[in-house]
Amino acid sequence: MKILFIGDVVGEPGRRAIQTLVPTMRRDLGLDWVVANGENIAGGSGITIKTGSSIFDSGVDVITTGDHVWDQKESMGWIVQEPRLLRPINYPAEAPGRGSILLEKDGFTRLAVINVQGRVFMQALENPFHVIHHEVTRLRALTPNILVDIHAEATSEKIAMARFLDGQVSAVIGTHTHVQTADEQIFPGGTAFLCDAGFTGPQESVLGRQIGPVIKRFMTCLPQRFPVAEGAIELQGVIVEIDNETGKATKIERVRKRIP
């Protein structure tokens, strides 16, 4: 099984990268599944029905999110209706939506995807370690093939989560910081790990936003609007190959691909 995980998709440029590259990548690379973190696809913050549907239509199977999942009002209603759109599983039970999904292909190929959010330097949700332990136990009764998106600020929390889940899930991929790390590896138990998948969008930027306003904010400490940047667009992410029978990762490779 071969999975492409796409790092945080930022605004219209990020959506354009997916629309341009994903259909070809699915065909040429023989991808079975494509998962993308889409919490910033609507104008750089949040997700709407129109923006989310556009990347589903381009070949993305599951959209994960994080702390910006509720930035657009309509996401609260859509996430109830659209099972392929996930929010972090460690939100309180009263929050709309779900934090995991079980995918099937050809009646037997199964992949489970879990979205979880860290707590260090972020909103204090339920303890992600306790919550994910119960969900992984439930899903492993259905499939050994499990991919986890941990949306977190602290590298230590992402690494600790991956070590905690080593041998229980196929891959743990970090999102949120928008900076692709170079620590891809497969742990002893067979779990592939990358601390951050990076971001998909305009690269001449500060994390996808126009450079000037961000610098001005740092210099003046005054509120600024951060429009999505323009210029060269890149898709960033990671490809993980998994043994279907055992759920163990056999290969992990970072991806950086520019629109021609």
Active site residues: 68
For residues 117 and 67, what is the distance between their CA atoms, to the nearest angstrom?
A: 8
* Helix (DSSP H) and strand (DSSP E) numbers for the chain: 6, 13
179 contacts: CB under 8 Å, gap ≥ 6: 196, 198, 199, 207
For residues 35 and 237, what is the distance between their CA atoms, to the nearest angstrom?
A: 10
Helices 11-29 and 49-56 cross at an angle (nearest 10°) of 20
Angle at 235 between CA 82 and CA 149, to 5 degrees: 50
For residues 47 and 42, what is the distance between their CA atoms, to the nearest angstrom?
A: 5
Residue type, 236: Q
Instruction: Tokens for 188, please give them.
Output: 């002893």
For residues 225 and 81, what is the distance between their CA atoms, to the nearest angstrom?
A: 32
Residue type, 181: T
Handedness of CA 42, 46, 51, 56 (dihedral sign): positive
